[in-house]
Structure 1
Amino acid sequence: MSLGLIVKTGRILTARLLMGEPIDGITHCAIGDGDATFIDPLNPPAPDIDQTALKTERARKKHYKRTFLKEDSEGTLVVNGIHYIETAEETQTIGVFFRFEESEANGITIREYGFFGGDVAYIDGLQSDYAANGVYHPDTNPSGEVLTSGYLYEVKNIPDFNKTSDTRVELVGVIKI
């Protein structure tokens, strides 16, 4: 299975951060159910480097933690088969943690996820770190709660994960510089 792909807008976000622009790094994770090309649940299509959004975003959540990570064979955080521990030491590896609570992603078939940064904003009046129904558009998606999607940094299509019961979803973005 392929790893996530850092897309062009993710590279622009990185360049803007390196230039010292006042912009947020990775702050949000979005989950969605993919598109019509995803027909084999065990064989996800490759992500597209030109993507700027998920194919079908269903929910988005702000991170609850960002921290430095260090590889450690005894570490309990395992991402793509590599064990990590959190550390106060500045390292070249960053972990960005996201948690969708039981009710927030219930009933969604999760086939794609993406990490976003920059100028992410929700519609006026939304009071939590969670937004449902994707990006707002007055005609095509009036129920969307994401007003400004920000920069898509990394996207990944994953094997079918049909979340039909109340189960919390945890995702960790590991960025190695």
Structure 2
Amino acid sequence: MRRAALGLLALVLGACGPSQINIAVKSPVGTNMGRPLYMLVRQVDPKQYANEAYSEVAARVGVPDTTVLQTAVIYPGTIQRFQVKAPKEGSVALSFLFTAPDGNWQVLLSPPLASAVDVELATSRILRDTIPQGPSLDEPPEAPKAPEVKPPEAPKAPEVKPPEAPKLGGK
């Protein structure tokens, strides 16, 4: 009975999502033309997120509201890691405030929230974002395993029957 209760508790807690989100941000040297930039992590309504202007989001850096979970300065040429307390419900937006954004500058994390996300920045936009299944951005990827190749079997020699000896005539 006690094991069943513990199992149920683990299931309920697991269904609620992670208590923290681990964020890894890879920022190459040329990111934001070599200048630091802000990252803003906040709880969002997906509909509102889709219609927000860059200037509205940028204003929250100086005057954060209750939706802001964390702000951080991202330095070009680094890999930085952050742990953010996950909201109990709702989506989370990661916004990168480039000096001159050119393309995607935000990532939306929808429920169920992942416990980790990797983001790689480019000069003026987000290059890629992934929910890692393996090593994070600063760990080299594992080399793909070569397929197992079995050596070919040697051809089997045909079965050869010795010739029958001639029968000698006699009584």
TM range (shorter): under 0.3
TM-score by length of structure 1 reads 0.24
Greater helix share, 1 or 2? 2
* Structure with the bigger percentage of strand: 1
Q: Provide the TM-score with structure 2 as the length reference.
A: 0.25
